[in-house]
Amino acid sequence: MKARQIYPLVIAGISLLTLSSAARADEFSDWFKVDGFGTVGGYKGNSTVAGVRTEQRQRTLSFNEWKFDGDSQASLQMTVNPHGNLKGVVQLISKKDVNGSNQPTVEWAYISYPISSEFDFKIGRTVAPIFIMSDYRNLSYAQTTARPQSEIYQVNPITYQDGATMRWDKRVGQGNVQVEGFFGKTKVSVAGGDVDLNRVKGLSLKWAQDSWSVRTGYSWYEASLNSPSVEANIASLKAIPAAACTNCASAIDAVAPRKGITATISTIGASYDDGEWLAQAEWAKRDTNSVVIASVTGWNLLGARRIGNFTPYIGTGRYQFDATKPNLTPGPFAPAALKAQLNYLNESYIATGDSSRTVNMIGVRWDFAKNFALKTQLEMAKMKYPAVGASNGYYSYETSMLGKPSGFDGKVSMLTVNLDFVF
């Protein structure tokens, strides 16, 4: 079902809910509930040659300067008929996007209904249940750290999908099992371009008991990348004569399709929280048939301890490119400059970059007042291939493989100070 068909149904359904529940209830809170959350924050990279950003869905980079438009956001969630079976939910988020706009966007817009005591059905724009923190990915106050760790969440930037979700919830022994299936479509705008994702399908399994929780999932989709810069780069490469590059014209389309990209994502994560000690581990792998949305693997570990109103924490993780590198071969008449260019394109997956890295993190959360949390966090990244360069994602720096040294030694840090709140 197309998004333009879903939204009129959702809005009409929520309107009917509003009218019917308003007629039944005397109190405002019985039929309409408003929740809000947000973040006021700043971040600063420590390098003048390597820029950092808080997430890949933004364009702003910090080169050794404070920026205040990374994690900062203001959001509202409205629920119609919150105490009833049939309910409608709309979540609006105002946060600077890749186009530099703070215009509120619809993150959730769905109607839900429990078919039985164990089955729940949602239709509209719903969360994509991929990772441990998918259900509250934008609710920073509910997270120990300043933001979800990039080594995992760069594997899949999808936060919602337009379609339907079915969830089965059942008590098993001393624990609780939750199985969730979803399908639909969505669009993600990142620094490298727009990605249209069709036929998004997935399954998620979650088990929770006492202090423990485990979640695993598998999803697959078809994607298309819309990026003028990538298209211009590929067009120029395919135009190189065979005497200078023997296989540029044939190899590019084979290794870098921009349409009809197929991808699968496998995830597993576990968390422990007994009220004092907190631990979390997560792993994710993306497999694709194109280097423009490359095959990657990510994992991270997090440990924390609550001491009064303070929660110090440490973390570590890794993000690794797994894609097969192109094999663009210089021809017999290729000049030295072109040979260097082709070598760079092979190592950088046709100039999309290689931001494989290890990241260590330390921080502290201070719950100084009810519904307020102040977080200070330092992330220290070490790039595996600093000479290759990277232009998208969380880090951006020039290549040193084309004769001009970038001055980047592969190490870059980001300091974050965020105030999270809910109301």
**Cβ atoms within 10 A of the Cβ of 211, count?**
14
Does a structural domain hold residue 416? Answer: yes
**How many domains does the chain fold into?**
1
Q: Across residues 205-209, what is the average pLDDT?
A: 96
Is a pLDDT exceeding 50 seen at residue 143? yes
- Predicted local distance difference test score (pLDDT) of residue 405: 93
CA 175 to each of CA 169, 178, 179, 209, 223: distance values in angstroms, whole numbers, following the listed order: 11, 10, 13, 4, 37
Residue 28: pLDDT band with limits 50, 70, 90: low
Does a structural domain hold residue 92? Answer: no
Q: Show the domain range for 125.
A: 36-74+97-422
Go through the chain and tell me how many residues it has. Answer: 423
Q: What is the pLDDT of residues 149-187, one digit of tens each?
A: 999 989 988 888 999 999 999 999 999 999 999 999 999
Q: What is the pLDDT of residues 287-299, one digit of tens each?
A: 999 998 999 999 9
CATH number at residue 245: 2.40.160.10
Side chain identity, residue 230: V
Does a structural domain hold residue 84? Answer: no
**Is the pLDDT higher at 102 or at 302?**
302
- Predicted local distance difference test score (pLDDT) of residue 5: 43
Does a structural domain hold residue 25? Answer: no
CA 330 to each of CA 230, 234, 351, 399: distance values in angstroms, whole numbers, following the listed order: 21, 16, 17, 20
Does a structural domain hold residue 339? Answer: yes
- Whether residue 123 contacts residue 164, with contact meaning beta carbons closer than 8 Å, is answered with yes
Is a pLDDT exceeding 90 seen at residue 121? yes
pTM value?
Answer: 0.88
Q: What angle do CA 15, 21, 23 make, to 5 degrees?
A: 105
Does a structural domain hold residue 363? Answer: yes
**Is the pLDDT higher at 11 or at 378?**
378
Does a structural domain hold residue 8? Answer: no
Report the distance separating Cα 57 and Cα 68, nearest Å: 15
Report the distance separating Cα 348 and Cα 331, nearest Å: 20
- In this prediction, what percent of the chain has a pLDDT beyond 90? 74
- Predicted local distance difference test score (pLDDT) of residue 3: 42
Q: What is the pLDDT of residues 224-237, one digit of tens each?
A: 998 888 888 888 88
Report the distance separating Cα 238 and Cα 289, nearest Å: 19
Does a structural domain hold residue 15? Answer: no
Structure tokens at 142: 């509910």
Query: Which residues contact residue 28 at a Cβ distance below 8 angstroms, ignoring those fewer than 6 apart?
Result: none
